[in-house]
Every structure is written in structure tokens, then in C-alpha cells.
Amino acid sequence: MYKKFIVEFIGTFFLVFTVGMTVLHQPDGVIPPLAIGAILMTMIFAGGHISGGHFNPAVTLAVFVRGKIPGIEAVGYVISQILAGAVAAGVVLSLKGGPATGAAPAQLVPVLVAEFLFTFALAWVVLNVATAKGTSGNSFYGLAIGFTVLAGAFAVGSISGAAFNPAVVTGATLLGLLNPATIWIYFVANFAGGGAAAIVFRIVNDEAAD
Amino acid sequence: MYKKFIVEFIGTFFLVFTVGMTVLHQPDGVIPPLAIGAILMTMIFAGGHISGGHFNPAVTLAVFVRGKIPGIEAVGYVISQILAGAVAAGVVLSLKGGPATGAAPAQLVPVLVAEFLFTFALAWVVLNVATAKGTSGNSFYGLAIGFTVLAGAFAVGSISGAAFNPAVVTGATLLGLLNPATIWIYFVANFAGGGAAAIVFRIVNDEAAD
Amino acid sequence: MYKKFIVEFIGTFFLVFTVGMTVLHQPDGVIPPLAIGAILMTMIFAGGHISGGHFNPAVTLAVFVRGKIPGIEAVGYVISQILAGAVAAGVVLSLKGGPATGAAPAQLVPVLVAEFLFTFALAWVVLNVATAKGTSGNSFYGLAIGFTVLAGAFAVGSISGAAFNPAVVTGATLLGLLNPATIWIYFVANFAGGGAAAIVFRIVNDEAAD
Amino acid sequence: MYKKFIVEFIGTFFLVFTVGMTVLHQPDGVIPPLAIGAILMTMIFAGGHISGGHFNPAVTLAVFVRGKIPGIEAVGYVISQILAGAVAAGVVLSLKGGPATGAAPAQLVPVLVAEFLFTFALAWVVLNVATAKGTSGNSFYGLAIGFTVLAGAFAVGSISGAAFNPAVVTGATLLGLLNPATIWIYFVANFAGGGAAAIVFRIVNDEAAD
């Protein structure tokens, strides 16, 4: 089981590291979503066959609700992911020379809506491309998942910063990109989005009771 | 059957939501086509195994003419898609603070040509990658379909706004991006493009009578 | 056989149409290579199972030298492709209001090198991903071929305009993007690149004599 | 065996050629990572079935440590790759009219960290998508590998130039993009990253002893 935790650590580390390196001290634009979507895709393609390639506590929650990961293992996943997010933030800080300052508090309703919607989309895609019978054996799961984050980063990046992932929220907070006082909004929205996607998945997929 | 309608609603919602969030109050550029192509791809990869992943009344028409969906189901698809486009527009307006103003009437011939051509291309790709024997079991259908819209958005975005999809037209009109007086041009061009693609598909594919 | 010609016409039409719409009257940048690579990919994924998805006389030559298409059929392919390039240019002109003016003559050696190298790369990729036993049944052929043109357009677009394709050269000349007096350089370089790739392919692939 | 060396030469040539053409005499931006990631992807899809598609001595080292290539063959691979990098640099210089000047010495720790991390990521992805039982027969290996370099180029391009590959370092040095006095840092970091990835791969994959 610890092998899966290593893989989750590696994938989440590179995800949050890429987030930090492309977002910190740099204006918004086309680069961060491309880079983040790409690294998530490649880490999923690399690690998916070992750990499932979650790299995201909200995804792990969704897979747990869907019934494809035991609770105890899910806890280990989340610990690995949060730890990797924190370590990645540390390495980014050492390379970039310090955190951002002055992150404004998040606005409750817009951030809640934006983060809920795209975490829902992300978990919806994960469950359908990586755990459904109808798509088993496909070669697109990493592409589909990574590019959901790419699309979401373009769509709501200006509203919420486009985390969709409590491990990314953890790293981004350490990097000074999110205001600590309001990150609870992200955690609520991300886990609610992941859980809701799992419920809808079970409604529309006949095999959901596997 | 209602499960398919839910999936069509989800996919079309995120497609039109991404259109609105990346196009409204923002200059043209590289971002909207990337984001829109990506979200269409990922929603098709996620929902295709349940509903076929149309998310577009013109595609549903093409699949109906090609003989792969019953008429009554097709009607339900179109209702779900239009409804999703309208709801997505509402959420975009709540996040963005209001519609665009002053959309000029569309120019008849250029818009007709641009929308017909790329809706034809889109339906041509859908029918060949998602309903043809020669490509059955492939892992690229979402990529092919999503990136057709990406290419079309770059190619004719400055001519017609690059809808290729009556559900997108519905959402874009509610967002103030298209002039209501001339959206009939889009509907005509989109359905004509989808229907024409189905006819050409049946001519060049021997299995078309399945 | 005429069904294949229709498919080659459709694919080449949308390729050259996208080239014209994104290049004519627009500064260089990130958009044309993305759009052109994308439409080539999607047209190959859509039409490859019927015609092989050449959309390029230099590719047809390479496939002929490799021994996978009869000579008489290859001639029909090339005619369809050139015709499609010319028709696409006409539609672009009708939408864009007239050709570019003042295209400078191409510089012999740089254009020859640039066009030879990337037409070689393109045909090399086509032969290996679409005609080799070692990759049969793959789901990446369109992605590989389309993104070779994307990479080439970024790499040598400023040297030669990045045609790699006599049907594109035909369309680009009608659009005023290439100087008619020097397009023979492109034809020589494109066909030489395609032929050379087929020869190298036969050397390194044991199954080349099939 | 010489057939594999030809394929490694071709792939590495186009990789380093694309690096040089998009980076030399051009400001940083979105284009080089897109172009480089794309060409690496396509060359891997084209050549992988013959040579494995390394195009990178650090990857060859990783595959050797993982136990999938004999030592004598690995030496031939590296020679082909370095030679291809040098030849590609020569062709770039002939087209671009001369090398860059004034490349500053690399900063030891940041370059070591950046190059180690992403060469690790690259080799980690290669080993998992191209040599692991759990992903055998997939159609995404080129996409995963190419887009790891794309992500890395966006993430650490401003720190180290984003080589991750001694053949690229060789070419970039000849192009004047890297300072010769400090390229040993790259070689150390690249080979260390490749070797470390192979060790972690063997720890987490049960089949590593094949």
C-alpha cells in the first residue's frame, strides 16, 4: 500500500510544483493552465496504473463515495497529497525567493460556485474515464482529466484562482497566493463538488454498485 | 433514458459555461478556443459512453439522420441541451455581473458560410469517430471532436463567433454576445451543416445503413 | 474508389481553409500552428479509416513509395487534394475580401532545407504511425501527424511559411501568401522530403516489403 | 541494431532542431514549450516501436538502470543522440545566421534542482508509460512524455532553460544558449534525475525485475 502513497506523493508534488512555478510572481495568461493541465495529465498517465492517479483529496473522496477505494487507504492518499503540496510549495519558495503578498480574502459566493462547479466537473470526468465499465481500457483518461483542469483554469481562474484541489489549496496558501482566512471556502467547495459528482455518477451509471 | 438526458445536460452546461466565462467581457485571443475545445473533449470522454456525448442539437440531428438515435430520444436530447445552455448562461451572468451589450446583427452570407462549414466539419468528425465501424473502439473520439471546435474557433471566430451549436447560440444570445434578430442564421446554418454531414457520411461509408 | 477521393477532398479543403483563415491578413503568432495542427489531426481521425487521411500530395507520394497505395489511385488523390486546396482558397478569399499582396520570392537554400526537413518529418511520422505493423491499431495517428505540422510551423514558419504540402502551397499561392515564381522550390522540397522518408522507412522497418 | 541508432538520430535531430529554431534569437514565451513538447511526442509515436524513442541520454540511462536495454546498445544510443544534437545545432546555425552570445554561467543550486526534478519527472513518465506492464499497449506514451517536457519548460524554463536532456544541452551549448563552463551541472542533474527515477520505479513497480 505504501507504494501507492509514494506515487500519490510524486504526482501531487509535480502538480503543485508546476502550479507554483507558473503562477507565482507572474501575470495571468495562457501559460499556467497549459502547464498545469499538462503535468496533471502526464502524472496520471504515469502513476494511474499504480495508485489510480488521484493527486487530489477531492478526487479521492469522490472515488471513495463511488466505492472504489477503502476508507483507510483514502486517508493515506489524502495525507500523501497534502504533504506533497506543502513540500512542493517549499521547493518553489526556495527557487522563487519568497511568497506572494497581499492575497485578498476570497469572495464567498463566487468562489464557492466556481470551485464547486469545476471540482464537480473534474471528479465527474475522473469517475467516468477511470472507474466506469463503459470506458475501461481506454487510452485517454489522463488527457481527459488534465484538460478538465486546463479548461477550468481558463474559465474560472479569474474568479477563484482555479484550485479544484485541497492539496493545491494547501500549496497555494503557503505560497501566499490564497488568503488563509478564507481557504475553508475552497475545502468546502472542493469536497462538496467531489462528493456530488460521485452521487450523480452512481445515479447515471448502472454499474455504480460494483 | 432520463440518465442520458442528465449526461447531455451536464456536458452542455459545462460547454456553454466555459464559452461564457472565457468570451464575455474579454478580448479575442488564444484562450477561448483552447478552453472550449478542451472542455468539449473532456465532457465527451466522460459522458460519451452513456449518452454518446452530443451536447449539440446539430450533432443530435446528424446522428439522427445517420440512423443511430430514435427520433423521440433526439427530441429529449435537444431539450436537455437547450435548457443546459440557458442555465449555464444564467450562472455566467451571476458570476460576471451582466451581459455584453451592443452585439451587431450577423452578416447573412459570411455567417451562413462559416457556421455551415464548421458545423459540417464537426458533425463529419463526430459521425466518423463515434459511429463508424472503421474507427470502433478508438480512444481519440473526444480529442478529435473537441479540437475540431478549437480549430473552427480560430478559423472563423472573427466571422461568426464560432458557435456551430444551437445550444451555444442560445447561451451566447442570453449573454448578449449574439444579436437575437439574426440568430435564425445560426440555427439554419448549424442544422444544415449537421444534416449535410450525415448525408455525405452515408454516401462514403458502406456501413451507413446499419 | 471515388469515396476515397471525396474524403481526401473534404480533409484537404478544411486544412487549407484553416490555413487561409488563420494566416491571411493576420500577424504571425501562436494561433495558426495550433489551428492547423488541430484541423489536420481531426480530419485524419475522421477520414483515415476511409482514405488513409493523406490530404497532402507529398504524403501520398511517400505512401506510394512505401508500397501502400496503387499508382492510379495516388493520382486521383493528388488531383482531389490540389482541387480542394484551390477551392478552399476561393472560399477564404470570399470571406476575407481579397488576397495578400507583395509576397517576396522564397530564398532558395533556406526554404529548400526547411521544407525538406519538415516534409521528411511529416512523412516519417505518417509512415510509422499509419502504415507500420509495430503501431497497428493505435489511437494516436492523427495526433502524431497533426502535431508534427504544429511543431514544424513553429520551428520554420519564419523561414518558409511552413507548407510541407503541395496542396497547401497551391492554396497559399492563390491567397497571395507565396510568390508564384518560387513555388517550384516548395514542390521540389516537399516531394523530395516525402520520398526520402519512404526510403528511410523501408530501410529501418523490416516489414517494409509488405 | 544500427536501425535503432538511425531512429534515435532522426528523433533527436528533430527535437534539438526544434529547440534551436524556436529558442534562438527569440524572446521566451508560449511557443518553444508547445513546439518542443509536440515534436518530442510525434517523434516518440513515430520511432518508439523501433528504438523505444529515447532521444535523450538521461532516458537511456534510466531505461538501462530499469533493465530494459543492454549496456552496449545504450552506448550506441547515447552516441547517436549526442551526434544528432550537434548536427541539428549546425543546421539551425546555418538557417539562423549565428549563435547567441553572452550566455551567463548557470547558477549551481537552482539549475541543479530544476534540472534534476524535471529529468526525474521525464524518466518517471517514460518508465511508467513505455516499460511497465500496467500500461502495456497504451496509445498515450508519446503524449505523456512530450507533454512532461512541455510542462517542465513552462515550470522551470526561466530557471535552467529546461533542457532535461544531455543531447539538448549539447545542441544548446553549440547554439550559444548555455555557457560551456557550467554545462557539467546539467549533465550531473540530468543523469542523476534519470537514475533516481529508475530506482523509484523499481521500488514501486512489482514487475521491475523483468
- Which residues of chain D are within 8 Å of residue C128 when distances are taken between CB atoms? 45-47, 49-50
- Cell 534569437 belongs to which residue? D25
Whether D28 shows a pLDDT value over 70: the answer reads no
What does the pLDDT average to over B57-82?
97
DSSP string, B36-69: HHHHHHHHHHHHHHHH----SHHHHHHHHHHT-S
Q: Along the 210 residues of chain C, how does pLDDT read in single tens digits? A: 899 999 999 999 999 999 999 999 776 689 999 999 999 999 999 999 999 999 999 999 999 999 999 999 999 999 999 999 999 999 999 999 999 998 999 999 999 999 999 999 999 999 999 999 999 999 999 999 999 999 999 999 999 999 999 999 999 999 999 999 999 999 999 999 999 999 999 999 975 444
Residues of D in contact with B33 (CB under 8 A): none
**Low-confidence spans in chain A with pLDDT less than 70:** 27-28, 207-210
Side chain identity at residue D30, one-letter code: V
Q: Which of B128, B135, B154 sits opposite C35 (nearest CB)?
A: B154
Task: Please enumerate residues of D whose Cβ is less than 8 A from a Cβ of A.
Answer: 30, 33-34, 37, 110, 113-114, 117, 121, 124-125, 128-129, 132, 134-135, 138-141, 143-145, 147-148, 150-152, 154-156, 159, 200, 203-205
Fold of the domain built from segment(s) A2-209? Glycerol uptake facilitator protein (1.20.1080)
Q: In chain C, where do the E strands start and end?
A: none
Per-residue cell: C100: 495578400
Domain boundaries defined on chain A: 2-209
Closest-CA residue of D relative to A93 is D110
Contact D95 C110 (CB under 8 A): yes
B chain contacts of residue D140, beta-carbon cutoff 8 Å: 139
Rg of chain C over CA atoms, in angstroms? 16
Q: Please, which pLDDT band fits residue D206 given cuts at 50, 70 and 90?
A: confident
Quick one: pLDDT band at residue B208, thresholds 50, 70, 90?
A: very low
**DSSP for residue A210:** -
Cell numbers of B83, please?
Answer: 435548457
pLDDT of C207: 57
pTM, to two decimals:
0.97
Nearest to C204 by CA among D6, D74, D44: D6
> What is the chain C residue with the closest CA to D8?
C204
Query: What confidence score (pLDDT) does residue C206 get?
Result: 75
Q: Within 13 A of B180's CA, how many CA atoms are on the CB side?
A: 5
Share of chain B above pLDDT 70, in %: 97
Whose cell is 436530447? That residue is B77
Decide if pLDDT at B189 tops 60. Answer: yes
**Tens of pLDDT, residues D61-117:** 999 999 999 999 999 999 999 999 999 999 999 999 999 998 999 999 999 999 999
Q: What is the pLDDT of residue D1?
A: 81
d(CA D98, CA D86): 14
Q: How far apart are CA D37 and CA D33, in angstroms?
A: 6
Nearest CA in chain B to C11: B121
Residue D151: CB atoms within 10 A of its CB come to 33
